């Protein structure tokens, strides 16, 4: 009898409410050796929440078209390491225009420590930012859009990014849809998380402010 995999990740537990098959799309166990190599590559320790995620899940099946992170695929630790090399090699002079009031540095990509961990199989990423702007926080979660050279702040930490994803699902900004082959996937009204992202974030921030009041 196959052993049932036990996990603790809060995000995945919450996503199961909307998508019961989410765990079946993820690879496990984690890749501790590759995580160590990532830390060696960047010259510092990764946030504990990030390491805990990868201790449980080493990305998702790369053959699946639309991923579990707001439609982006969770990258394996090996893929992250490869992408870090590409960012340094090919994007040394690339500058991302910050869309979040100095929270994100506009220094050249090759001079920053950015850990892409989710991608859309194109030129868009969700990443950890370990070299934030003047008003940012180390370990914040940002977007990287190499088509439009723009970058938005999504959350101050990975754990807060979990809250952001859950809120997206609760408010039906992102929903599980059924594909042509009866495969479930995450979809936005705009078709892609980065489409109309500025308006989407403004709407979420406004609702959060209203809840505080």
Question: CA 44 to CA 4: how far, in whole Å?
Answer: 35
> How would residue 198 be classed by pLDDT, with cut points 50, 70 and 90?
confident
- Report the DSSP beta bridge partners of residue 184: 178
CA-based nearest residue to 207, from 153, 168, 175: 168
> How would residue 161 be classed by pLDDT, with cut points 50, 70 and 90?
very high
Q: What percent of the chain has pLDDT over 90?
A: 48
Which range has the worst mean pLDDT, 25-34, 142-151, 173-182, 189-198? 173-182
Q: What is the mean pLDDT of residues 169-192?
A: 81
CB atoms within 10 A of CB 207: 12
Contact 163, 60 (CB under 8 A): no
List pLDDT tens digits, range 58-89: 998 766 667 889 989 999 999 999 999 888 77
Contact 149, 94 (CB under 8 A): yes
> How would residue 92 be classed by pLDDT, with cut points 50, 70 and 90?
low
Report the mean per-residue pLDDT for the chain. 87
Considering the entire predicted model, what is its pTM?
A: 0.90
List pLDDT tens digits, range 6-24: 788 999 999 999 888 888 8
CA-based nearest residue to 27, from 64, 82, 1, 66: 64
Question: CA 23 to CA 79: how far, in whole Å?
Answer: 20
Cβ-count burial 119-156 (b if 16+ within 10 Å, e if not): bbeeebbbbbbbebbeebeebbbbbbbbeeebbbbbbb
């Amino acid at each position: 009898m196959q052993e049932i995999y036990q996990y603790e990740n809060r995000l995945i537990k919450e996503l199961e409410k909307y998508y019961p098959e989410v765990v079946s799309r993820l690879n496990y166990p984690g890749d501790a050796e590759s995580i160590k190599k990532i830390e060696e590559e960047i010259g510092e320790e990764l946030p504990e929440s990030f390491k805990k995620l990868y201790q449980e899940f080493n990305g998702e099946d790369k053959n699946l078209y639309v991923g579990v992170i707001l439609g982006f695929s969770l990258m394996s630790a090996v893929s992250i390491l490869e992408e870090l090399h590409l960012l340094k090699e090919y994007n040394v002079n690339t500058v991302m225009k910050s869309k979040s009031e100095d929270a994100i540095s506009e220094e050249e990509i090759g001079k920053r420590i950015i850990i892409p961990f989710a991608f859309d199989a194109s030129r868009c990423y969700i990443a950890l930012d370990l070299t934030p702007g003047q008003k940012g926080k180390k370990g914040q979660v940002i977007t990287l859009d190499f088509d439009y050279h723009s970058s938005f702040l999504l959350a101050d930490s990975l754990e807060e990014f979990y809250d952001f994803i859950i809120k997206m699902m609760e408010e039906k900004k992102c929903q599980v849809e059924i594909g042509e082959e009866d495969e479930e996937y995450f979809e936005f009204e705009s078709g892609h998380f980065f489409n109309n992202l500025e308006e989407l974030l403004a709407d979420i921030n406004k609702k959060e402010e209203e809840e505080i009041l």
